[in-house]
């Protein structure tokens, strides 16, 4: 294999930085990124650990193609146990830090322990050092970045949390170069370790070194043909960003409105990609990206489709300027807009407060970001909020994670993927929008239940492997798995078939499932809130378990399945 | 098979289109989908261009049950493909031009725009017994781990996909590209180039 994977362990309690032995076998079975992180978690802690226990690890991991010239391979991954959901959690981020790490000959960092005083990890010339970070405390993210640049220079990339993490907002996230490890509360993990930022100094170094350069270049060119030939990746996303979906999803009556009470928002067009286009001053791309889905307005990066939905359509807000301002607040305080919007929607419904009032929403956002007054309750997320009020049924969550911008009653595959997502209610685990709305690879009936499980499983496995390689999710809209497995093979020399690629994904998905079971999750946690469920859902879950090789009554992977995937060590 | 009505309709739609395109003779070809541990496969001797609900047979992917006696002759190959790949649908046809080319070449490299984008290369494999044979069941899945379509020399194509429509579309693309190749060879043009796909 052509890859050397340099993993570093930072023990903040003892101020130690140690280079670990790379395990090529593990790479063959998990590739990198998401898979590597979930597998390595078991080496550092048990799944039942409290996420904010100082022994709980957080991983930042690149994939075997990070730093290569492969298209859409510039992302990197973060893995931790979520303080919001208590599930295993992984999050993907664009920006530059992943590539900068590889250029520093560092492919992954695992952080454990808790620093005695606020700290910063600094990477330069292949070395990691620990620095004082007190001066970042209490600062908004733009101020933190300015301070970091003053201290370490303009040519840096960073990962940092915002002040919301210090105030205990459970859906605080991590920011890297104005992109986000968006969901699950990674900011809280930073805060629990007294870690304020990771800074990576830019380093000029060629890192694209394919095992078979001729084949790698050929396959990469073939992939580019599809990126440029597909109207979604060559026109829709570059022209309108992710909010190209707003009108499309609304017209299909899939756009959740008023805490999912409805699935159509009369004024969606005012907050669509077409409307946002007038406010965009430039586009922005991650490293190695040919799509450039990022929008920048005069207020900064974003907003994305999910933000426009969560704080807009779902709350009944169609004032685009207000949404751009809300988006900026989320970016400055470091919070996940989906969870923020979902939690505020639940709060409005519980307290029978009118939706659609910009002033009320703005006030609640400010209070939540500062965890003040009623915002303190909202900052704990929709599930805890609704439980506190004895209105559990009003929490639009799965496994404690607020659901995203697709109403599951109208799109059954997406519903199943929400329910069976290992990190809680998430659209990206299987991204069923592709076959059920976008017609990739072919359009299928959104409201047919039978047979959907197999497709959900295929895509969940596929995206596990993709998140481990690491590819941008949008690459999967342009090319199928056979391109991706060939690209990995040509770069690493691993010689993966499409089936091997799927098998890696299946191994990771089952490992995550076992993690969650050991953390206390059960079959009933795979169900949707009653408002969102439908008659066929239980039969879909049963079909899913059978197809996965899991026990139908408990949802636990069978011993046979674990052995088949080389996970028999979990049985010990 | 209450919900199976939808499955049957999908089989009938694809079967009719395949027959209209000349991808098989009146009683040739077969197709299946996998749903959990079950599979639905066309009945032995059914006419794909005119399928009825009773022509779709439900049987197990692993093991054996009574319905095996009703299923397509090629069920052994379909099962082996499902057991060894991540396919959820299989479309087996006898496309005449691709089959003719399979009798002359060890691989079919598609160099028209559609074929080169979608399939690029289709391997051709040989077997002593080409219908419902264990030998074919052993070889075909190995190739389908890497390729969307495989040609069995002198017999026909096996295509897989996430959906039946997808597997059908790969077969349709293959035959269409082979037709273009045939036209070009009639013009005296060299048809094959090397491919590192």
- Closest Cα to residue A512, out of A422, A405, A390, A392? A422
The per-residue pLDDT for range A408-435, each reduced to its tens digit, is: 999 999 999 999 999 999 999 999 999 9
Helices (H), A292-353: 305-310, 320-333, 337-350
Coil, strand or helix at B146? coil
State how far the Cα of A215 lies from the Cα of A491, in Å rounded to an integer.
9
Q: Model-level pTM?
A: 0.94
- Chain B hits for A444, Cβ within 8 Å: 163
Taking an 8 Å cut-off on Cβ atoms, the answer to whether B36 and A461 are in contact is no
Question: How close does chain B come to A458, measured CA to CA in Å?
Answer: 7
Compute how many other C-beta atoms are within 10 angstroms of the C-beta atom of residue A306.
22
Taking an 8 Å cut-off on Cβ atoms, the answer to whether A499 and B147 are in contact is no
Coil, strand or helix at B168? helix
Give, in degrees to the nearest 5, the angle at Cα B21 between B19 and B24: 45
Mean pLDDT taken over chain B: 92
Buried b / exposed e over A171-189, threshold 16 CB at 10 Å, is bbbbbbbbbbbbbbbbbbb
State how far the Cα of A169 lies from the Cα of A178, in Å rounded to an integer.
20
- Closest Cα to residue A177, out of A76, A291, A84, A89? A76
- Chain B hits for A449, Cβ within 8 Å: 3
pLDDT at A25: 72
State how far the Cα of A538 lies from the Cα of A524, in Å rounded to an integer.
10
Taking an 8 Å cut-off on Cβ atoms, the answer to whether B165 and A442 are in contact is yes
Nearest to A458 among B120, B162, B196 (CB): B162
- Chain B hits for A219, Cβ within 8 Å: 197
The CA–CA distances, whole Å, from A409 to A372, A404, A414, A535, B148 equal 35, 13, 9, 10, 33
Q: Which two tokens stand for residue B107?
A: 């691989």
Q: What is the CA radius of gyration of chain A?
A: 22
Contact yes or no for A426/A91 (Cβ under 8 A)? no
Taking an 8 Å cut-off on Cβ atoms, the answer to whether B163 and A442 are in contact is yes
What is the Cα A49 distance to its own chain's centre?
Answer: 21
- Sheet of B121-125: strand order equals B56-60, B38-42, B30-35, B89-93, B156-161, B149-152, B121-125, B107-109
Taking an 8 Å cut-off on Cβ atoms, the answer to whether A226 and B196 are in contact is no
- Chain A hits for B88, Cβ within 8 Å: 454-455, 458
Same topology between domain A7-201 and domain A243-404: no
φ, ψ (nearest 5 deg) of residue A356: 75, 5
Contact yes or no for A435/A454 (Cβ under 8 A)? no
H or E element, residue A485:
helix A481-492
In the Cβ-directed half-sphere of B147, how many Cα atoms lie within 13 Å? 25
- Closest Cα to residue B165, out of A248, A229, A451, A483? A451
CB contact A541 to B (< 8 Å): no
B3 pLDDT exceeds 50? no
The per-residue pLDDT for range A39-49, each reduced to its tens digit, is: 999 999 999 99
State how far the Cα of A571 lies from the Cα of A553, in Å rounded to an integer.
19
Compute how many other C-beta atoms are within 10 angstroms of the C-beta atom of residue A566.
12
pLDDT at B5: 47
Q: What contacts A140, CB < 8 A, 6 or more positions away? A: A162, A163, A332, A333
State how far the Cα of A509 lies from the Cα of A35, in Å rounded to an integer.
9
State how far the Cα of A370 lies from the Cα of A355, in Å rounded to an integer.
22
In the Cβ-directed half-sphere of A114, how many Cα atoms lie within 13 Å? 13
φ, ψ (nearest 5 deg) of residue B170: -65, -40
Please provide the CATH number assigned to the domain covering A243-404. 1.10.569.10
Q: B residues 27-66 near A, CB within 8 Å? A: 33-37
Superfamily of domain A7-201: Aldehyde ferredoxin oxidoreductase, N-terminal domain (3.60.9.10)
Contact pairs from chain A to chain B, CB under 8 Å: 71
Q: What is the 3-state secondary structure (H, E, C) of A384-436?
A: HHHHHCCCHHHCCEECCEECCCCCHHHCHHHHHHHHHCCCCCCCCCCCCHHHH
- Closest Cα to residue A7, out of A51, A46, A42, A59? A59
In the Cβ-directed half-sphere of B131, how many Cα atoms lie within 13 Å? 7
State how far the Cα of B47 lies from the Cα of B30, in Å rounded to an integer.
9
- Chain B hits for A502, Cβ within 8 Å: 86
CB contact A439 to B (< 8 Å): no
In the Cβ-directed half-sphere of A224, how many Cα atoms lie within 13 Å? 12
Pairing outcome for strands A179-181 and A174-176:
antiparallel
In the Cβ-directed half-sphere of A82, how many Cα atoms lie within 13 Å? 29
State how far the Cα of A565 lies from the Cα of A29, in Å rounded to an integer.
9
CB contact B146 to A (< 8 Å): yes
Q: What is the CA radius of gyration of chain B?
A: 16
Q: Which two tokens stand for residue A470?
A: 């690491």
- pLDDT bin (cut points 50, 70, 90) of residue B36 is confident
Contact yes or no for B119/B111 (Cβ under 8 A)? no
Eight-state DSSP code of residue A195: E
pLDDT at A572: 76
The domains located in chain B, with CATH, are 4-186 (3.40.225.10)
The per-residue pLDDT for range A339-359, each reduced to its tens digit, is: 999 999 999 999 999 999 999
Distant-in-sequence contacts of B64-73, Cβ < 8 A, 24+ apart: B70/B43, B70/B44, B71/B41, B71/B42, B71/B43, B71/B44, B72/B30, B72/B32, B72/B41, B72/B42, B72/B43, B72/B44, B72/B46, B73/B30, B73/B44, B73/B131, B73/B132
In tens digits, chain A (572 residues) has pLDDT values of: 667 899 999 999 999 999 997 677 788 999 999 999 999 999 999 999 999 999 999 999 999 999 999 999 999 999 999 999 999 999 999 999 999 999 999 999 999 999 999 999 999 999 999 999 999 999 999 999 999 999 999 999 999 999 999 999 999 999 999 999 999 999 999 999 999 999 999 999 989 999 999 999 999 999 999 999 899 999 989 989 999 999 999 999 999 999 999 999 999 999 999 999 999 999 989 888 989 988 899 999 989 999 999 999 999 999 999 999 999 999 999 999 999 999 999 999 999 999 999 999 999 999 999 999 999 999 999 999 999 999 999 999 999 999 999 999 999 999 999 999 999 999 999 999 999 999 999 999 999 999 999 999 999 999 999 999 999 999 999 999 999 999 999 999 999 999 999 999 999 999 999 999 999 999 999 999 999 999 999 999 999 999 999 999 999 999 999 999 999 999 87
Q: Which two tokens stand for residue A552?
A: 């139908």
What is the Cα A222 distance to its own chain's centre?
Answer: 27
Ramachandran assignment for B39, one of left (phi > 0), alpha (psi -120 to 50 degrees), beta (any other): beta
- Chain B hits for A486, Cβ within 8 Å: 197
- pLDDT bin (cut points 50, 70, 90) of residue B68 is confident
- DSSP states of A82-149: -TTT-SEEEEEE-SSHHHHHHHTT--EEEEES--SS-EEEEEETTEEEEEE-GGGTT--HHHHHHHHH
State how far the Cα of A188 lies from the Cα of B179, in Å rounded to an integer.
61
- B122, B145, B168, B169: which to substitute to probe chain A, counting the most A Cβ within 10 Å? B145
State how far the Cα of A469 lies from the Cα of A35, in Å rounded to an integer.
9
Question: Minimal Cα distance from B33: which residue of A?
Answer: A451
H or E element, residue A382:
helix A382-388
φ, ψ (nearest 5 deg) of residue A122: -125, 130
pLDDT at B190: 67
Domain spans, chain A: 7-201, 243-404
The CA–CA distances, whole Å, from B69 to A537, B45, B48 equal 33, 12, 18
CB contact A193 to B (< 8 Å): no
Residues found in chain B: 197
Residues found in chain A: 572
State how far the Cα of B116 lies from the Cα of B177, in Å rounded to an integer.
9
Compute how many other C-beta atoms are within 10 angstroms of the C-beta atom of residue A518.
14
Eight-state DSSP code of residue B107: E
């Amino acid at each position: 294999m052509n890859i050397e994977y340099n993993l570093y362990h930072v023990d903040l309690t003892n101020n130690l930085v140690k280079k670990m032995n790379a395990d090529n076998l593990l790479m063959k079975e998990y590739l990198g990124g998401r898979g590597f992180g979930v597998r390595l978690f078991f080496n550092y802690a048990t799944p039942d650990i409290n996420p904010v226990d100082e022994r709980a690890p957080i991983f930042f991991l690149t994939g075997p193609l990070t730093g290569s010239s492969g298209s859409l391979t510039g992302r990197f991954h973060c893995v931790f146990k979520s303080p919001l959901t208590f599930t295993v959690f992984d999050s993907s981020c664009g920006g530059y830090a992943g590539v900068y790490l590889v250029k520093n000959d560092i492919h992954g960092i695992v952080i454990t322990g808790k620093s005695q005083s606020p700290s910063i990890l600094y990477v330069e010339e292949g070395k990691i050092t620990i620095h004082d970070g007190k001066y970042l405390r209490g600062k908004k993210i733009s101020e933190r970045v300015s301070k970091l640049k003053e201290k370490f220079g303009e040519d840096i990339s960073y990962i940092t949390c915002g002040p919301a993490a210090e105030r205990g907002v459970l859906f605080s996230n991590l920011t890297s170069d104005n992109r986000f490890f968006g969901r699950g509360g990674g900011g809280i993990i930073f805060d629990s370790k007294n870690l304020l930022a990771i800074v990576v100094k830019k380093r000029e170094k060629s890192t694209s070194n394919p095992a078979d350069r001729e084949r790698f270049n050929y396959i990469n060119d073939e992939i580019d043909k599809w990126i440029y030939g597909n109207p979604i990746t060559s026109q829709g996303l570059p022209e309108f960003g992710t909010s190209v979906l707003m009108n499309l999803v609304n017209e299909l009556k899939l756009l959740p409105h008023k805490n999912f009470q409805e699935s159509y928002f009369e004024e969606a067009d005012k907050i669509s990609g077409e409307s946002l286009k007038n406010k965009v001053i430039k586009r922005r791309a991650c490293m190695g990206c040919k799509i450039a889905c990022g929008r920048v307005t005069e207020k900064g990066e974003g907003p994305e489709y999910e933000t426009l939905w969560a704080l807009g359509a779902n709350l009944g807000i169609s004032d685009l300027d207000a949404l751009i301002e809300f988006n900026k607040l989320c970016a400055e305080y470091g919070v996940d807009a989906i969870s923020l919007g979902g939690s505020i929607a639940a709060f409005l419904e519980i307290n029978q407060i009118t939706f659609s009032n910009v002033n009320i929403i703005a006030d609640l956002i400010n209070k939540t970001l500062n965890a003040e007054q009623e915002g303190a309750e909202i900052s704990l997320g929709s599930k805890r909020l609704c439980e506190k009020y004895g209105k559990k049924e009003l929490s639009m969550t799965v496994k404690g994670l607020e659901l995203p911008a697709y109403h599951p009653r109208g799109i059954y595959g997406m519903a199943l993927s929400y329910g069976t997502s290992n990190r809680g209610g998430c659209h990206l685990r299987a991204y069923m929008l592709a076959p059920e709305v976008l017609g990739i690879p072919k359009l299928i009936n959104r409201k047919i239940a039978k047979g959907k499980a197999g497709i959900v499983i295929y895509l969940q496995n596929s995206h596990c492997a993709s998140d481990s390689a690491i590819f941008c999710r949008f690459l999967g809209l342009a090319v199928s798995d056979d391109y991706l497995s060939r690209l990995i093979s040509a770069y690493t020399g691993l010689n993966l078939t499409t089936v091997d690629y799927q098998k890696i994904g299946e191994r990771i998905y089952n490992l995550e499932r076992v993690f969650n079971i050991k953390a206390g999750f059960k079959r009933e946690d795979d169900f949707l809130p009653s408002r969102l469920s439908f008659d066929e859902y239980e039969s879909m879950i049963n079909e899913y378990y059978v197809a996965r090789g899991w026990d139908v009554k408990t949802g636990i992977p069978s011993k046979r399945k674990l052995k088949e995937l080389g996970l028999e060590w979990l049985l010990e | 098979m209450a919900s199976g009505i939808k499955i049957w309709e999908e089989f009938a739609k694809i079967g009719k289109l395949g027959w209209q395109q000349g991808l098989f003779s009146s009683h040739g070809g077969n197709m299946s989908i996998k749903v959990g541990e079950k599979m639905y496969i066309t009945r032995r001797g059914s006419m794909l261009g005119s399928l009825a609900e009773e022509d779709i047979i439900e049987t197990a992917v692993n093991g054996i049950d009574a319905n095996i006696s009703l299923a397509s002759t090629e069920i052994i190959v379909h099962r082996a493909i499902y057991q060894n790949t991540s396919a959820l649908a299989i479309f087996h046809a006898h496309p005449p031009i691709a089959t003719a080319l399979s009798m002359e070449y060890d691989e079919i490299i598609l160099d028209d725009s559609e074929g080169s984008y979608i399939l690029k290369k289709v391997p051709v494999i040989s077997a002593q017994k080409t219908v419902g044979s264990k030998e074919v069941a052993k070889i075909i899945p190995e190739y389908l781990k890497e390729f969307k379509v495989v040609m069995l020399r002198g017999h026909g194509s096996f295509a897989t996909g996430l959906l039946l429509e997808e597997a059908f579309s790969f077969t349709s693309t293959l035959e269409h590209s082979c037709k273009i190749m045939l036209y070009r060879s009639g013009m005296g043009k060299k048809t094959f180039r090397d491919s590192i796909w």
